[in-house]
Amino acid sequence: MLTNTLPRYEILDEFALQELERGWRRIVSELGIEFLYDEALDYLRGAGQDVDGQLVKFDPDWILEQVAKAPSQFTLQARNPERSVQVGGDTMVFSAVYGCPFVREGLERRDATYDDFQNLVKLAQSFPQLDSPGGTICEPNDRPLDSRHLDMVYALLTLSDKPFMGSVTSGPNAQDTIAMAEMVFGADSLDETPAIISLINVNSPLRYDDRMLAALVEYAKRGQATIVTPFLLMGAMSPVSVPATLAQQLAEGLAGIALVQTIRPGCPVVFGSFLSNTDMQSGSPSFGTPESAVGLLCTGQIARHYNLPFRGGGALTSSQVVDAQAGYESMMSLWPTFLAGTNFVMHSAGWLESALVSCYEKFVTDVECLRMMYEVFKPLEINEETLAYSAHQEVGQGGHFLGAVHTLERFRECFYRPLVSSTENYERWNRNGGNDTAARATEIWRKTLEEYEQPELDEGLREELKAFVDRRRTELGD
Amino acid sequence: MLTNTLPRYEILDEFALQELERGWRRIVSELGIEFLYDEALDYLRGAGQDVDGQLVKFDPDWILEQVAKAPSQFTLQARNPERSVQVGGDTMVFSAVYGCPFVREGLERRDATYDDFQNLVKLAQSFPQLDSPGGTICEPNDRPLDSRHLDMVYALLTLSDKPFMGSVTSGPNAQDTIAMAEMVFGADSLDETPAIISLINVNSPLRYDDRMLAALVEYAKRGQATIVTPFLLMGAMSPVSVPATLAQQLAEGLAGIALVQTIRPGCPVVFGSFLSNTDMQSGSPSFGTPESAVGLLCTGQIARHYNLPFRGGGALTSSQVVDAQAGYESMMSLWPTFLAGTNFVMHSAGWLESALVSCYEKFVTDVECLRMMYEVFKPLEINEETLAYSAHQEVGQGGHFLGAVHTLERFRECFYRPLVSSTENYERWNRNGGNDTAARATEIWRKTLEEYEQPELDEGLREELKAFVDRRRTELGD
């Protein structure tokens, strides 16, 4: 977890914020939002909103009253208390890629399996730059669809001791996640402090579907955190305009957060952003774009305006392989991620090919980028010691500092030390195989997996979790 | 030329600026700076500074008095007046890579030639994101050392009509550059408005060498712009500390700028920064690092504090090939370049392998990054039109915007359109050859060279320039 005390980079003026406010207010009040789940409709009807079939038209002031009940920051428990994190304020929490059906390992691209899932959780556990493995780090396609959420939660709780993300594929799956978390954290502790954070996507534009809503309701009832995220690829799910998309993101996001607060006032919830654009030539989604960078900078400012923790960013790219495009697009999204002070960052490592692929090598290059960004966002201390005048006195004119006392005392720790980047001169690099970054990354993730150590877990608890998984799998008919 | 009206990202507080002020003052006054050129020493002695042999100890207040005479912005003429640029204030001027002895073309790395020089100037002329080809875009190693500056200036003046950088390898070479510029711009116009901008590197620490000083003196006498640049790889040419290096950069840079103002008060001059670090494991220089990003952000703030236009940044990397590292390191330096509002950006395109290599493919991927950054730093307009409420009214809940009237009216221009990046789905990308970004870049620079059109030039002027080159080459014995 990074505490980012550097300034936020804000590009909206007061007038712009007012225009966006006007924008979301008329969307929720005049057009309304569909909620395809009766229990959610009951809550909103009960709170006095205008419900017609599945369409809800909101009083924007009521929305803001509800939103004001959400905490501006909260603790998310990890099963290892040292790895618990704060979500909101100046902190930034990083989790791995989420939701990819395929994996890439070197030159091979294939369906993701449960083995891959476990490997990627182990990598997320191993690198300290990641605060959480996230949830669906890849789809374990070799496990039955109805019960694979159990396998995923089991792996997340046993192979890692960092905070994790819960299943959102249905209400009962959310209940399973909560039941397993209760075994690990205890029901009381879970009620007091959330130990699950889950991604609730909006079926944009202006619609929440039944499965996501059912999961949202379950988690909210138990005080577990959700990340309510309008899913906005401009041109497809929103207009071809950043301001219009920001207004829509506010309309959808604030309405969902208001629902959470109606279910359980004070429940931790995160204002989510997943905002990029469609390539209008091909119709393909496009990631690591300038528009998404601008959208992210604005989103941070907007979330702070409404006093909400927010999610956004990551190391996004549309590239098919770990090449230059993968590098520059990932940085095109990571820089605004940090400049905006993003509180919860999904997709921080491993994302490739517009999130179709969880990539082992990309995991490593993304960790390198995170490590560099952590270094940039460390406050610079300027004082007599760092001014190092003694070194200037020692070296004087025309010499070099390699052997200066000041250098010798600090040379091991004075600069960022790369993980996979190379500064080798050409001859040496060539002699060592002339491997590009992706090839060097292969060596690093393999070694990291070899050196992985499973975090301690009580054997009785493990058996209890295992028994639950087995029982539920049988009940689900798999 | 970009006018960057977005906010500057500033990370130094008033106390930090005061500490840096204290830092450079004691360096120039107590330790002093060596100037290995008599004429420069004469100027400084004449201005009352304490000259002992080649060591000059300065009165810091005198330095600031001189620095105050430098314009905070100035016009740099191009031979096509439409391509003249403003240096300073809110504008950002981008020039290509500078100084590389090698080139890389696809998989081949070899000594750079004059053919390469011409090709790279043509590329810089062709891409509108570059405001200038720069100067030594690569070393034309197949041309004689003593007269190759003539070949370079000739190519810069004939193959491009954008502003160019002059030779700094000696006083006479600077005079040759001025003589050729006089033919193109006329002596009076040259005196009034600079048409040459030249890179004067400090032989850091705390020493200016004779060749660079001789060039500086020639250019200053004729009112041509120089970029006075401390050459600081922390650990080698400066202490292993960003603050100490910033103090040294100020000491060296302000002293050189004071010299320029002593020679010709009001002469345009740029506060230059070339600040990165040594890899302390290998001793190699390291580019695109977090430390250089922080240094650049601070440099911008410092230059504004002293009311000077400044140079810094670029698309820097230590990578040996156009791979993921080349991508993410270039962005690691381009983001702070823009956030700092850097007025003159050298090395904006083509830099590879710590500036040993000018790379054709990297040229293209860097232009892509520049294009994206231009887009990010375009002010966002939020108003009734961009809020696009009509599109929301048209699409409503659960639909898509691909066919909306608002979309159809704007789909060609609404988003950034990539140059070399691909959003193709995997199957299509594979069918099209499965080329990575570097391979696709090869196609683009070749096509760009094929489509290159030489800018108009009066035939008599061309012959005059050619005759000068031939005569001077003979005089120089080549």
ipTM of the complex: 0.98
Q: pLDDT band at A122, cuts 50/70/90?
A: very high
- Mean pLDDT for the stretch of residues A191-212: 98
Cis peptide before B205 (omega within 30 of 0): yes
- A397 at B interface, C-beta within 8 A: yes
User: Strand B357-359 vs strand B351-352: parallel, antiparallel, or unpaired?
Assistant: antiparallel
Is residue B312 within 8 Å of residue B350, measured between CB atoms? no
Cα separations in angstroms, A213 against A134, A218, A226, A247 = 20, 9, 11, 22
From chain B residues 139-158, the ones with a CB under 8 A of any chain A CB are none
Q: Give the separation between CA B240 and CA B280, rounded to whole angstroms.
A: 10
Cis peptide, bond prior to residue A205, ω within 30 of zero = yes
- Which residues, listed in sequence order, are joined to residue B87 by a DSSP beta bridge? B74
Distance from CA of A69 to the nearest CA of B (A): 27
* A320 vs B contacts (CB less than 8 Å): 422, 424, 426, 429-430, 434
Proportion of chain A above pLDDT 90, given as a percent: 99
Q: Do A401 and B235 touch (CB under 8 A)?
A: yes
In chain A, residues 156-195 whose CB comes closer than 8 Å to chain B: none
Looking at CA atoms only, how far is residue A91 from chain B in angstroms?
18
Ordered alpha helix ranges (H), B137-289: 148-158, 171-185, 187-192, 210-221, 242-263
DSSP B462: H
Separation of alpha carbons A346 and B221, rounded Å? 57
- Which residue in B has a C-alpha nearest to residue A375's C-alpha? B290
Query: Which residue out of B377, B415, B432, B437 would a mutagenesis test of the A interface target, given it has the greatest number of A Cβ atoms within 10 Å?
Result: B415
Inter-chain residue contact B235 with A411, CB threshold 8 Å: yes
Query: What pLDDT sits at residue B271?
Result: 98
The shortest C-alpha distance from B405 to chain A (Å) reads 10
Q: How far is CA B234 from CA B125, B237, B465, in A?
A: 34, 6, 42
pLDDT, position A310:
98
Q: Which helix (H) or strand (E) holds A359?
A: strand A357-359
The verdict on B222 touching A (C-beta cutoff 8 Å) is no
DSSP string, A371-433: HHHHHHTSPPP-SHHHHTHHHHHHH-SS--STT-HHHHTTTTTSS---SS-----HHHHHHTT
Cβ contact (<8 Å) for A365 and B283?
Answer: no
- The answer, for A40 touching chain B at a CB cutoff of 8 Å, is no
Q: Do residues A234 and A285 make contact, with C-beta atoms less than 8 angstroms apart?
A: no
Hey, what long-range contacts does B40-47 have (CB within 8 A, 24 or more apart)? B40/B208, B40/B213, B40/B216, B40/B217, B40/B259, B43/B217, B43/B259, B43/B262, B43/B263, B44/B259, B44/B262, B46/B262, B47/B262
Euclidean distance between CA atoms A102 and A111, whole angstroms: 4
Set of chain B residues whose Cβ sits within 8 Å of the Cβ of A401: 205, 234-240
Separation between Cα atoms, residue B10 and residue B310, nearest integer Å: 15
B445 min Cα distance to partner chain A (Å): 16
The answer to whether the Cβ–Cβ distance between B429 and A320 falls below 8 Å is yes
DSSP letter at B81 equals G
The 3-state DSSP class for residue A325 equals helix
For residue B279, count CB atoms less than 10 angstroms from its CB and return exposed for 0-12, middle for 13-18, buried for 19 or more. buried
Average pLDDT, chain A: 97
What residues of chain B lie within 8 A of the CB of A438, using their CB?
323-324
Residue A97 and residue A358 in contact, taking contact as beta carbons nearer than 8 Å: yes
Mutate to test the interface with A, among B248, B376, B409, B444 (most CBs of A within 10 A): B376
* Tokens 């979500």, residue located: A87
**CB of A64 within 8 Å of any CB in chain B?**
no
- Cross-chain Cβ contact A396/B31 below 8 Å: yes
Phi, psi of A352 (to 5 degrees): -145, 160
Q: How far is A280 from chain B (nearest CA, A)?
A: 6
> Most B CBs within 10 Å: which of A14, A17, A331, as the mutation test of the B interface?
A331
The residue in chain A having the minimum alpha-carbon distance to the alpha carbon of residue B379 is A11
Q: What pLDDT, on a 0 to 100 scale, did the predictor assign at position A253?
A: 98
What is the DSSP pairing of strand B164-165 with strand B196-202? parallel
**Closest residue in chain A to residue B34, using alpha carbons only:** A397
Separation CA B1–CA B4 (nearest Å) = 9
Distance CA B157, CA B153 (A): 6
In B, which residues are within 8 Å of A364 by CB distance? none
What one-letter code names the amino acid at B278?
A: T
Cβ-Cβ contacts under 8 Å between A and B: the total is 387
- Please identify among residues 77-136 of chain B the ones whose CB lies closer than 8 Å to any CB of chain A: 109
Q: Which of A12, A240, A425 sits opposite B414 (nearest CB)?
A: A240
CA distance B455 to chain A (A): 32
Test the A interface: residue of B2, B33, B241 with most A CBs within 10 Å: B241
Q: Which of chain A's residues have a Cβ under 8 Å away from the Cβ of B401?
A: 205, 234-240
Tell me whether residues A402 and B241 touch, CB distance under 8 A.
Answer: no
- Lookup: tokens for B128: 């509108």
Q: pLDDT at residue A269 above 90?
A: yes
Give backbone dihedrals phi and psi of B229, rounded to 5 degrees, phi first: -125, 105
Question: B424 CB near a chain A CB, below 8 Å?
Answer: yes
pLDDT number for residue B281: 87
Length of chain A: 478
pLDDT at A282: 85
Q: Using CB atoms and an 8 Å cut-off, which of residues 290-309 of chain A contact chain B? A: 290-291, 293-294, 298
pLDDT of residue A36: 98
For A23, the closest chain B residue by CA position comes to: B387
Residue keyed to tokens 């430390």: B291
Both structure tokens of B163: 């502003």
pLDDT at residue B191, rounded to an integer: 96
Residue by residue, pLDDT tens for chain B (478 residues) are 999 999 999 999 999 999 999 999 999 999 999 999 999 999 999 999 999 999 999 999 999 999 999 999 999 999 999 999 999 999 999 999 999 999 999 999 999 999 999 999 999 999 999 999 999 999 999 999 999 999 999 999 999 999 999 999 999 999 999 999 999 999 999 999 999 999 999 999 999 999 999 999 999 999 999 999 999 999 999 999 999 999 999 999 999 999 999 999 999 999 999 999 999 988 899 999 999 999 999 999 999 999 999 999 999 999 999 999 999 999 999 999 999 999 999 999 999 999 999 999 999 999 999 999 999 999 999 999 999 999 999 999 999 999 999 999 999 999 999 999 999 999 999 999 999 999 999 999 999 999 999 999 999 999 999 999 999 999 999 8
Nearest to A261 by CA among A302, A220, A311, A224: A220
pLDDT digit string (tens) for A421-451? 999 999 999 999 999 999 999 999 999 999 9
CB contact under 8 A, A398 and B238: no
pLDDT at A212: 97
Integer Cα distance of A50 and A31 in angstroms = 11
Inter-chain touch B414–A280, beta carbons under 8 Å: yes
Q: B417-450 burial, b for 16+ CB within 10 Å, e for fewer?
A: ebbbbbbbbbeebeeeeebbbbbbbbebbeebee
H or E stretch covering B408: helix B405-408
Q: DSSP for B284-309?
A: -EE-S-HHHHHHHHHHHHHHHHTT--
Output the six-digit token pair for B269. 């001059």
Backbone φ/ψ region at B347: left (φ over 0), alpha (ψ -120 to 50), beta: left
**Cβ contact, residue pair B11, A283, below 8 Å:** no
Collapsing DSSP to helix, strand or coil, A175 comes out as helix
